[in-house]
């Protein structure tokens, strides 16, 4: 039986930015498209060639949030591209008001960006617009964007070189000396680790003042946690500096950073090396828990040493006169350590899911 007059639903693919929605309707040779938005519902009807041949295809989508009622569309030989402006610039968790995704709707992976990448794109566009205005008003040949990218590239390069030196040094010494290399790790690489971790303060400042789009809290948690272990647990207690746990803490830290910093370097020059990107979003899965475990072991091993030496312990003033041992705060820190691991692990998991998980999960 002929299906020429049957009304069918086309395949529709979508993506978003903070201010816009993009829909790609898989219809070729479209004739007389009727596209409108009424009461926040997109109505589409057109004659064209789709999955069921030449037919009338139509669909209706009620958006998750308010949109402007003036859709803009462009016809090509193979598809219809529709752009819809959001009324409020924000990120949507899905496209439609209904939680269940319509069967004909799927993500447009050719245009898909996760929220952090979209924020970077939005920032870049805004910076480009401001730079053009600045150039028109001041006539300056130098742009803030190029300076920022150069600054970030150099920062990430220095950190990459520092952590690479630590990682290679520890690896080579282990293969040459075996387990004996564990016990003098601190005296071998501590100066470089001090340098890298003090320089990491810049990373948190960059996030706080908006130089980068990274959230401040995960960066701050990692900075404070690592520096507490490095400067307090290892740095102030010579008894801890000869323990094997120092090797494992430093090795886990550097193993993560030798992939993270080159990824950021290439991002500064708009390069995407897929292998490096996958490693940046994957190696933390085993390394972060192992690093946290190594840090916890170092804290546990330091408790009896702090109790014996009385370092950082103090006595409350009269009339209480209770001695407060520093080990009490170390026990609290152990709880905070795993809480920080949960926060950072959750943040990194979301980043990875946004980048690689779209094809596995349902997207509305």
Pair 42, 58: CB distance under 8 Å: no
Distance CA 307, CA 24 (A): 66
CA atoms within 13 A on the CB side of 170: 27
Instruction: List the pLDDT tens digit at each of the 364 positions of the chain.
Output: 444 455 689 999 999 988 899 999 999 988 779 999 999 999 999 989 988 888 889 999 999 999 999 999 999 889 999 999 999 989 899 999 998 889 899 999 888 887 777 777 777 777 787 777 766 665 445 567 788 889 999 999 999 999 999 999 999 999 999 999 999 999 999 999 999 999 999 999 999 998 888 888 888 988 999 999 999 999 999 999 999 999 999 999 999 999 999 999 998 888 888 899 899 888 888 998 999 999 999 999 999 999 999 888 888 887 877 888 899 999 999 999 888 888 888 888 888 888 887 544 444 4
Whether 295 is catalytic: yes
SS3 track for 131-170: HHHHHHHHCCCCCHHHHHHHHHHHHHHHHHHHHHHHHHHH
Given 288, 318, 342, 349, the catalytic residue: 288
pTM here? 0.58
CB 213 within 8 A of CB 120: yes
Give the residue extent of every domain in the chain: 12-110, 141-357
194 is catalytic: no
CA atoms of 245 and 240, how far apart (whole Å): 9
Specify the CATH number of the domain 12-110. Answer: 2.60.40.790
Give the tokens for residue 134. 């600045």
Our measurement of the distance from residue 261's CA atom to the centroid of its chain's CA atoms, rounded to an integer in Å, reads: 13
Please report where in the chains the tokens 């299906």 appear, as a residue. Answer: 3
Compute the distance between CA of residue 79 and CA of residue 29 in angstroms, rounded to an integer. Answer: 8
Which contacts (CB < 8 Å, 24+ apart) does range 135-141 have?
A: none
Active-site residue (options: 26, 203, 257, 295): 295
Contacts from 225-232 at CB under 8 Å and sequence distance 24+? 225/295, 225/337, 225/340, 226/197, 226/200, 226/253, 227/197, 227/200, 228/333, 229/295, 229/298, 229/299, 230/193, 230/194, 230/197
Task: Report in angstroms the alpha-carbon separations of 209 from 108, 214, 216, 222.
Answer: 33, 10, 9, 18
In what helix (H) or strand (E) does residue 15 lie, and over which residues does it extend? Answer: strand 12-16
With a CB cutoff of 8 Å and minimum separation 6, the contacts of 168 are none
């Amino acid at each position: 039986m002929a299906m020429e007059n049957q009304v069918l639903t086309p395949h529709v693919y979508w993506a978003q930015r903070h201010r816009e929605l993009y829909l790609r309707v898989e219809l070729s040779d479209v004739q007389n498209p009727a596209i409108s938005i009424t009461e926040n519902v997109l109505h589409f009807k057109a004659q064209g060639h789709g999955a069921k041949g030449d037919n009338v295809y139509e669909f209706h989508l009620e958006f998750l949030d308010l949109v402007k009622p003036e859709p803009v569309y462009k016809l090509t030989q193979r598809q219809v591209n529709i752009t819809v402006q959001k009324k409020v610039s924000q990120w949507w968790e899905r496209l439609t008001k209904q939680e269940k995704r319509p069967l004909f709707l799927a993500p447009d992976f050719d245009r898909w960006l996760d929220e952090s990448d979209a924020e970077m794109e939005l920032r870049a566009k805004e910076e480009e617009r401001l730079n053009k205005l600045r150039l028109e008003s001041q006539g300056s040949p130098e742009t803030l964007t190029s300076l920022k990218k150069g600054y970030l590239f150099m920062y990430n390069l220095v950190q990459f070189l520092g952590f690479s030196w630590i990682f290679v040094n520890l690896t080579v010494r282990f293969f040459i000396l075996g387990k004996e290399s564990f016990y003098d790790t601190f005296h071998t690489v501590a100066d470089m680790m001090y340098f890298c971790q003090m320089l990491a303060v810049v990373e948190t400042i960059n996030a706080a003042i908006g130089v980068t789009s990274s959230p401040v809290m995960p960066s701050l948690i990692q900075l404070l946690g690592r520096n507490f272990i490095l400067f307090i647990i290892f740095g102030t207690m010579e008894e801890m500096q000869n323990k094997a746990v120092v090797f494992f803490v430093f090795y886990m830290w550097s193993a993560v950073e030798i992939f993270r910093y080159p990824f950021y370097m290439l991002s500064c020059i708009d390069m995407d090396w897929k292998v490096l990107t996958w490693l940046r979003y994957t190696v933390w899965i085993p390394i972060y828990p192992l690093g946290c475990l190594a840090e916890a072991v170092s804290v546990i091993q330091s408790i009896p040493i702090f109790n014996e030496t009385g370092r950082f312990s103090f006595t409350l003033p009269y009339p209480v006169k209770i001695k407060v041992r520093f080990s009490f705060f170390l026990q609290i820190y152990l709880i905070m350590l795993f809480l920080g691991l949960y926060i950072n692990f959750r943040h990194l998991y979301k980043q990875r899911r946004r980048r690689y998980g779209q094809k596995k999960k349902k997207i509305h």
